[in-house]
Amino acid sequence: MTFRSVVKLTIFCSIILAGFTVSSTPIRAAQVHILCYHTFLGNPKIDTDFSTTEFESHIRIMENKGYRFRRFSEMRAGTVTGDRNILLVIDDGNQSAYTAAISVLKPRHIPALFAIYPGIINTRKFAMTWAQLRELKDGGNEFASHGYFHEFLNQKLKDKRPADFDKEAVLSKRILEKELGIPIDVYIYPFGVCTVEGKELLKSAGYRYAMTIRSRVTKLPLSQNPNPLELPRTMITRATAKSALSAL
């Protein structure tokens, strides 16, 4: 074999081995960290509450770690890739959530999924108005039902007040769809309480997905999760914020 032939053979083998190395590298599955926030009043005595300044510091930590902020519609469509993804979910519809969305998220073009229970909208001073929710919708944010009056979807409510049990899923969905002009197929369990009877109600009411507050990552595509009506979320509290953000 000539020297030129040896060189050619060496180059050919190197290319083959390089291709083998690349193709044999395991591809990390796509996933999303769903993080749950509540209010932004800046009251240190409330474990689920942060100031907008504290919230902004959390967002900066996520950004500095290279995370991308996603919409649930992207997760549903299967267009999210990679493992550094975050879905922000803000529960309850407090006025301070509107303030945080406008002052912290909007300048960064970061969307959130707002979990709303319509029984308080336009009727309680601490809650957002329909006009504010529509403004958030027009700004690219999304919405889920959080019940009608934020009650447990459990056997006790079903037995004692069956009409209210149905209202939590059925009427809530109907009102949100009417007022916001969008389909609602995501339910956020109040207090994270997920029950057999609750899941049966959600199915019959036309929900496709629901979220708990069990701290695990959500796999993508969504069909990879054991049950689409039990998608996990991590609740961010004053007690858990440091560890939860460090674990990202």
Confidence band for 241, pLDDT divided at 50, 70 and 90: very high
How crowded is residue 13: how many other Cβ atoms within 10 Å of its Cβ? 10
- Reported for 164-167, long-range contacts at CB under 8 A and 24+ positions apart, including other chains, are 165/201, 166/201
pLDDT cut 90: percent of the chain above it = 88
Mean pLDDT computed over 117-127 = 97
pLDDT given at position 66: 97
- Tell how strand 68-69 and strand 218-219 pair up: unpaired
Asked, for residue 2, whether it belongs to a domain, the answer is: no
Kindly report which listed range (17-26, 73-82, 98-107, 178-187) carries the lowest average pLDDT score.
17-26
Cβ atoms of 202 and 229 within 8 Å: the answer is yes
How crowded is residue 248: how many other Cβ atoms within 10 Å of its Cβ? 15
Amino acid at 155: Q
Mean pLDDT computed over 79-105 = 98
Cβ atoms of 197 and 190 within 8 Å: the answer is no
Point out which residues pair with 87 in neighbouring strands.
34
Name 118's Cβ contacts closer than 8 Å, sequence gap at least 6.
148, 171, 172, 175, 176, 179
Asked, for residue 11, whether it belongs to a domain, the answer is: no
- CATH assignment of the domain containing 232: 3.20.20.370
Confidence band for 188, pLDDT divided at 50, 70 and 90: very high
pLDDT given at position 29: 83
pLDDT given at position 67: 98
Mean pLDDT computed over 173-184 = 98
Domain that holds residue 124: 29-246
Considering its fold, how many domains does the chain have in total?
1
Asked, for residue 20, whether it belongs to a domain, the answer is: no
Asked, for residue 23, whether it belongs to a domain, the answer is: no
Mean pLDDT computed over 101-114 = 98
